[in-house]
Amino acid sequence: MLCAGLGKVWTSNKSFRSEKSKTNRHLAEFEHIEWEFAWTSLDELMDLSEHYTQYCLEYVLTNHMDDLEVLNAFTSKGLIDRLKLNISKPYQRIPYDEALKIIEQNAEEIQKIDSKMTLPKWGDDLGSVCEMFIAEKICKSPTFVYNYPKDLKSFYMKQNEDGRTVQACDLLIPGVGELIGSSVREDNFDKLMKVVNERKMDVTPLKWYLDLRKNGSTPTAGAGLGFDRLVRWCTGMDNIRDVVPFPVAYEECKY
């Protein structure tokens, strides 16, 4: 709503997730940095996420080298070189269909990591194991995966002309996993309502949002970045709980 009037907006806020996850990258409460820009395409959205994260890494390298040297020596071997490498070249960008082909071609190696997992098929979420494998083993770089299946993603994401995918993209970081989830938003009211009706959604709490599209609209795109994961990337810490003063995580809240 603010973007409709101001063109470029951002916010920093707490987000809460009820996933039953005890991994080293999940919290039940985390800091979210979100932005929404008008007149932004999918390529420009990925450019923005790339420039933003590289700026953060460069800032840390320039202004906090003393801290990085301590981390590099005691807890995160090779951290400084990894950070420098990530700002020295563009991130990889692959469509969802190509990501599935990579997974299929490397199925045996992936299942050595987790023998119980079911490999994703078209329309499925890639899953954290496959995402980490693509970023760490194949691309060996921060990697955008884009053009996800329409039914997999939120109703407000802009549909591609193929009718089966939407302009959504996730940024995957080696050793961290998904850092940013983002998409171009659907600005066509009729297309938006078609998805709402197909999913049998209650339009009552969505009326304010749908009205932003109803009488003419501006194309927008936006993203959400997990700030705690960004700190974990910059510090090389193995567990996200180690970069949060008071971590709130599944089965760790005692009161």
CB 152 within 8 A of CB 124: yes
Q: What CATH number corresponds to the domain at position 189?
A: 3.30.930.10
Please report, in tens digits, the pLDDT of each residue of the chain (255 residues total): 899 889 999 999 999 987 788 888 889 999 999 999 999 999 999 999 999 999 999 999 999 999 999 999 998 899 999 999 999 999 999 999 999 999 999 999 999 998 888 999 999 999 999 999 999 999 999 999 999 999 999 999 999 999 999 999 999 999 999 999 999 999 999 999 999 999 999 999 999 999 999 988 899 999 999 999 999 999 999 999 999 999 998 888 776
Residue 155 within any structural domain of the chain: yes
Q: What is the pTM for the complete model shown?
A: 0.94
Tell me the residue range of the domain where 38 lies.
Answer: 30-243
Residue 4 within any structural domain of the chain: no
Residue 186 within any structural domain of the chain: yes
Residue 18 within any structural domain of the chain: no
* Residue 253 CA to its chain's centroid (Å): 26
Residue 10 within any structural domain of the chain: no
The beta strands (E) that lie in the chain are given as: 8-16, 29-38, 92-95, 143-149, 165-173, 177-184, 220-226
**Number of domains observed in the structure of the chain:** 1
CB 237 within 8 A of CB 76: yes
Residue 37 within any structural domain of the chain: yes
